Amino acid sequence: MEGSDDSVKVAVNIRPLITSELLNGCTYCVTVTPGEPQVQIGSHVFTYDHVYGLPGAPQSCKIFEECVMPLVDALFRGYNATVLAYGQTGSGKTHTMGTNYLGETSASGIIPKVMEEIFEKVKKLRDKTEFLIRVTFIEIFKEEVFDLLDPQTHTAKSGPYRVPIQIRETALGGIFLAGVSEPAVKSKEEMASFLARGSLNRATASTHMNSQSSRSHAIFTICIEQKRTASSFQSDAGHDILISKLHLVDLAGSERAKRTGADGLRLKEGIHINKGLLSLGNVINALGDEKKRKEGAFVPYRDSKLTRVLQDSLGGNSKTIMIACISPADSNADETINTLKYAKRARNIKNKAIINRDPVAAEKKRLRSQLEQMQGELHFAHSGSALLKEIQILQEKVSLLELKNEVLHHQINEADRKCREKDLLISKKPQF
């Protein structure tokens, strides 16, 4: 199977100072090296694959075109892909991802553009390919996985009434969520309605850092199944089924628990959030360290639900981009440095993405070609034996004709002899 070594790509998105920061008299403490994907903060200099947002760097709206569009293309070629937004609460993760998209036409953010692009592509390929597109939307909150599309939680609101779902592993080591809702969607609008439904279900609670921010990890997944139809079947030998997934992940705030500074319960949530992100950090460290990787160091995916769900996206079968979101405000400098360090390590991770062919379809394809080959051989064998029979008949005919020939030869000789005897008798008769 085709495979490609892909490092996890890292982009940094720097939002402008927002009103509350301006009102608090904050100033910019982050600068960008013009024309370079490089961020400077104090004496620190960090280089990434892309940097967006501040003067000297491309605008944030370019993220989709430059970072996400290649992943959508890969998705249609059968690769898994993941987009992760990382950063402290209020740094712009939800804004960047567009997780709060409610169907508005002028929406910014990655997810609405992904939807648009997917259905554009489907429209173009529809004559040759059958598509089955499904979505799932989950959140990981206090180390439990919840189905944001479960129709029963829709009315029950977030909270203790929700039943967590279990993470299971397939025989081949793939991760799946037992019983998660996976509605099939046929249009961008339908897909957007599921995103909107899930976003409303997301657990949110206020902290003094961002009154609207969610303290859960949200994962919106688009699964695409493609099957080439009969018309392309003739010309294309690869008439198999491709199944690929795009994970769009809006992580919870990466700030340390003490900064949430809320009541006991909130603090506990903060610690749980940090458990996921702490494990994510450990996974990134284990995968990003070349020496450790070569030594086959243990990667602690199982330490948290978040790292288990993302197991394939980091160090596995996925083309992955992490978008580190940062605030440029001097009041956030410590957290911004932490985010930039974390993102720098993620850049060292190597993934190995492969095209996901449906194993059943691939086996069917192999058996079908084997059958065709055997039918060909059988046909050839059949035609061979018919030829042999024909030769035999011809041989018999030849020997029969040879025999007839001999008899005729004999008869001619006999007739010839008789003629000559007759001539002799005539010539010996006395002449008068």
**Choices 82-90, 268-276, 286-294, 306-314; region in contact with ligand ADP by CB under 6 A:** 82-90
Q: Which of residues 67-96 bind Mg ion (CB under 5 A)?
A: 93-94
Q: Does 87 bind ligand ADP (CB under 6 A)?
A: yes
Quote the CA–CA distance of 209 and 259 in Å, as a whole number. Answer: 8
Q: Which of residues 177-216 bind ligand ADP (CB under 6 A)?
A: 210, 212-213
At closest approach, how far in Å is the CB of 205 from Mg ion? 12
Rg, Å, the chain Cα set:
38
At closest approach, how far in Å is the CB of 92 from ligand ADP? 3
At closest approach, how far in Å is the CB of 186 from Mg ion? 29
Say which entry of Mg ion, ligand ADP, none residue 273 contacts (CB below 5 to 8 A, set by partner kind).
none
Select from 155, 112, 173, 162 the least CA-distant residue to 140.
Answer: 162
Q: Which is nearer to Mg ion, 224 or 251 (CB)?
A: 251
Say which entry of ligand ADP, Mg ion, none residue 228 contacts (CB below 5 to 8 A, set by partner kind).
none
At closest approach, how far in Å is the CB of 39 from ligand ADP? 15
Q: Does 89 bind ligand ADP (CB under 6 A)?
A: yes
At closest approach, how far in Å is the CB of 86 from ligand ADP? 9
Name the residue with tokens 């996921």: 276
| Packed helices 110-125 and 188-201: angle between N→C axes, nearest 10 degrees | 150
Residues 202/158, Cβ–Cβ less than 8 Å: yes
Q: Which is nearer to ligand ADP, 92 or 198 (CB)?
A: 92
Q: Which is nearer to Mg ion, 214 or 351 (CB)?
A: 214
Name the residue with tokens 């439990």: 144
**Choices 87-95, 186-194, 343-351, 386-394; region in contact with ligand ADP by CB under 6 A:** 87-95
Q: Does 356 bind Mg ion (CB under 5 A)?
A: no
**Choices 32-40, 86-94, 186-194, 264-272; region in contact with ligand ADP by CB under 6 A:** 86-94
Q: Does 78 bind ligand ADP (CB under 6 A)?
A: no
Instruction: Please provide residue 274's backbone torsions phi and psi, each rounded to the nearest 5 degrees.
Output: -65, -30
Q: Which is nearer to Mg ion, 93 or 162 (CB)?
A: 93
Q: What are the residues whose beta carbons fall under 8 Å from the beta carbon of 407, sequence distance 6 or more?
A: none
Q: What are the residues whose beta carbons fall under 8 Å from the beta carbon of 300, sequence distance 6 or more?
A: 279, 282, 283, 286, 307
Say which entry of ligand ADP, Mg ion, none residue 221 contacts (CB below 5 to 8 A, set by partner kind).
none
Say which entry of Mg ion, ligand ADP, none residue 325 contacts (CB below 5 to 8 A, set by partner kind).
ligand ADP
Figure out which of the listed residues 6, 50, 80, 91 binds ligand ADP, where binding follows CB under 6 A: 91
Figure out which of the listed residues 63, 242, 249, 325 binds ligand ADP, where binding follows CB under 6 A: 325
Binders of ligand ADP: how many residues, by CB under 6 A? 17
Residues 88/81, Cβ–Cβ less than 8 Å: no
Quote the CA–CA distance of 253 and 66 in Å, as a whole number. Answer: 25
Q: Which of residues 207-246 bind Mg ion (CB under 5 A)?
A: 213
**Choices 12-20, 293-301, 307-315, 407-415; region in contact with ligand ADP by CB under 6 A:** 12-20
At closest approach, how far in Å is the CB of 209 from ligand ADP? 8
- Closest CB to ligand ADP: residue number: 92
**Token output for 278:** 């702490």
Residues 232/239, Cβ–Cβ less than 8 Å: yes
Q: Does 153 bind ligand ADP (CB under 6 A)?
A: no
Q: Which is nearer to ligand ADP, 145 or 273 (CB)?
A: 273
Binding residues for ligand ADP, rule: CB under 6 A, are 15-16, 18, 60, 87, 89-95, 210, 212-213, 253, 325
Binding residues for Mg ion, rule: CB under 5 A, are 93-94, 213
